[in-house]
Structure 1
Amino acid sequence: MRIAFFVNSIEAETPHFTTTLLAFAALARGHEILYLTPGDFVLRSDNSLMVSARVLPPAKYKKVETFHKDLQGEKLSTKIIDVREIDVILLRNDPSQDAIERPWAAHAGAMFGRLASERGVLVVNDPAGLGLAQNKLYFQDFPEQVRPVTLISKNIDEIRTFIDGQPKGAIVKPLQGSGGKHVFKIESPKDSNLNQIFEAVSGEGYLIAQGYLPEARGGDVRLFLMNGKPLERNGKYAALRRVPAKGEVRSNIHVAGTPEKVEVTGKMLEVAEMVRPKLIEDGMFLVGLDIVGDKILEINVFTPGGLWNISQMYKTDFAESIIMALESKILIRQAYPATLSNIRLATL
């Protein structure tokens, strides 16, 4: 297969990003890989959709670090190809990273991904579904049982009133954002720094306030779902616990959160099952759930990360399972080329 990875920028990729691990696994299985970025699409006057793809010469890599070094080096070349010559495009960009400095780039993946899917390319996650998930408001479409009590507003008086009704305090963060940026815990509406936090965060748009879950002190659990079900290989789940650093409310690994092994409980599986129908409906092939107790804090549908840490902890190649699932989808599409939509095939 020819598999393309759509990212914000190649320069920003690291050896242990989930995207890098997936590309490495695809190469190991003999597939050709391409990298695409937001400015690489051309819709020509004859309605053909072309891409300016970055490619590496065929090679066998033993270490993901060596592959990443070549990806960042002189071996990378550019090739103009018709998008119909690509079998799979994985949309792995984070729109929030481009929203301020490159707003034109934020939604390029979903926009051109839709055009690619219309031309017969398998695009995952499905671009129509991703179009619905451009911010955390998407989370409100999932069952109420799995969501913390939530308020979305730009009105500080509304936020104060909401926080006053939360006996354990509240978490306040931007509605549009990712990676734990501008996430704050507020104990009460009388907190002296609430005005400063509001001024800092509200400049990015609407705020989302959620009732604080005390279990979050022990961290959250990142659980990968594939085709709407927990990703499992050799009896092991693709999951880890992210424990926040001392004095830190965020558990994201890039802000000093510590990854630890976790036992996936029946309660976690029940939570995953409750969100499965919506994920399948929206064509969400690969997502990451952030779970605390019996609630989900976030559903990561664009660039869920952590697969490197999980694979190392459990000595299990979950990335290969993901590539194998894509191989199966292409075989199904070849057998039934005119009957399966992209959104259906994405989670089949």
Structure 2
Amino acid sequence: MRIAFFVNSIEGETSTYTTTGLAMAALGRGHEICYVTPGDFVLRADDSLSVRGRVLPGKRYKKAESFHAALQGDDTAIETMDTSDVDVLFLRNDPSLDADDRPWAAHVGAMFGRLAAARGTIVVNDPDGLSLAQNKLYFQGFPRAVRPETLISKSIDEIRTFIDTHKEGVIMKPLQGSGGKNVFKIGSPDEANLNQIFEAVSGEGYLIAQNYLPAATEGDIRLFLMNGRPLERDGKYAAIRRVPAKGEVRSNIHAAGTAVSVEITPEILAIADMVRPKLVEDGMFLVGLDIVGDKILEINVFTPGGLNVMLDLYDIDFADSIIAALEQKVAQRDAYAGAITNRTLATL
């Protein structure tokens, strides 16, 4: 099996990224891998679709640092291949990272992923589903019971009124974005710096204001779902609690958050089960839920991360289970000779 990992850029990859763990797991299971970036697709005059992939030597790496060094070094080769020779195209780019400097690149994965799927390659997450999730507005399509109360607007007056009706405060962030960038907690509509925050964040487009959840002081839970269900291996769920640093609103690991082990309760499983139907309908193979209390703050469908931390905490390689699931999808595709749509295969 050949798996192509689509990322924003080669130089932007790190040894701690979940994509690194997935690629290493694929190599460990005897598969070929390559990395693809937004400028690597070629749609030819005969309607064939090719891709220039950065191919690593077919060896197993014991350490993520060694793998990353090889990816960034001279041992790789650039190989042009027809997408029909790629079994799985795994879309792992973050569109928000390209939105400002390379807007043309932000949604290339979904665009060409759709063409690759039409030519027989399994594409995950499903590109049509990802096209629906280009910003946080996608989250509003899930049941109200699992969402914080939310306002989406570019009006400072609307936002002030919303803040005034939520005495415990409001979290404000851009509609388009990820990784905890420009996330602020506003305690009152009279806060002196509200105008400055509004001007800074609204420059990126629409704003989201959500009622602040006091349980957020304990951090959030990142829970992986695969094929619409919580990812579990050896009796343990692929989940961590991300605890924010002192004085910090965000619990993201790169924002100085700390990852600790967590036990998944029946209540959390019930939350996951409530969002499962839409995730399955949209062909979302691998997603990360960010849960606080009985609410989901975000659903990351593009680049959910944290598998490396889970490997360290639990000594369980969840990436291996993900690659095994892809093997099964390839077998199902071949058995049905293209009769099953990519969106269905993505979550079987």
Which residue of structure 2 lines up, in the alignment, with residue 336 of structure 1? 336
In 2, distance between residues paired with 1:318 and 1:178? 23
Which residue of structure 2 lines up, in the alignment, with residue 227 of structure 1? 227
In 2, distance between residues paired with 1:240 and 1:20? 19
- Post-superposition Cα deviations, 1:77-111, rounded to whole Å, max 9, x if no partner, equal 10111111000010000000000000000000000
TM norm structure 1: 0.99
In 2, distance between residues paired with 1:67 and 1:219? 31
* Count of residues paired in the alignment: 348
Corresponding letter in the other structure for 1:318: F
SS of corresponding position for 2:62: coil
Corresponding letter in the other structure for 1:88: V
Which residue of structure 1 lines up, in the alignment, with residue 218 of structure 2? 218
Which residue of structure 2 lines up, in the alignment, with residue 259 of structure 1? 259
How do 1:83-122 and structure 2 match up within 5 A?
83-122=83-122
Corresponding letter in the other structure for 1:254: H
Consecutive unaligned residues of structure 1, counting only runs of 5 or more, are none
CA contact 2:24–2:60 (8 Å) conserved in 1: no
Asked whether 1:146 is paired with 2:174, we answer: no
Q: Percent identity?
A: 70
Which residue of structure 2 lines up, in the alignment, with residue 240 of structure 1? 240
In 2, distance between residues paired with 1:50 and 1:146? 41
In 2, distance between residues paired with 1:33 and 1:281? 28
Which residue of structure 2 lines up, in the alignment, with residue 317 of structure 1? 317
Which residue of structure 1 lines up, in the alignment, with residue 301 of structure 2? 301
Corresponding letter in the other structure for 1:260: V
In 1, distance between residues paired with 2:330 and 2:312? 29
SS of corresponding position for 2:288: strand
In 1, distance between residues paired with 2:285 and 2:47? 28
- Post-superposition Cα deviations, 1:94-131, rounded to whole Å, max 9, x if no partner, equal 00000000000000000000000000000000000000
Runs of 4+ in 1 over 4 A off after TM superposition: none
- Post-superposition Cα deviations, 1:297-329, rounded to whole Å, max 9, x if no partner, equal 000000000110011101101000000000001
Asked whether 1:17 is paired with 2:17, we answer: yes
1:45 shift after superposition: 0.7
Asked whether 1:163 is paired with 2:163, we answer: yes
In 2, distance between residues paired with 1:92 and 1:58? 21
1:167 shift after superposition: 1.7
Consecutive unaligned residues of structure 2, counting only runs of 5 or more, are none
TM norm structure 2: 0.99
In 2, distance between residues paired with 1:331 and 1:131? 26
SS of corresponding position for 1:195: helix
In 2, distance between residues paired with 1:34 and 1:24? 11
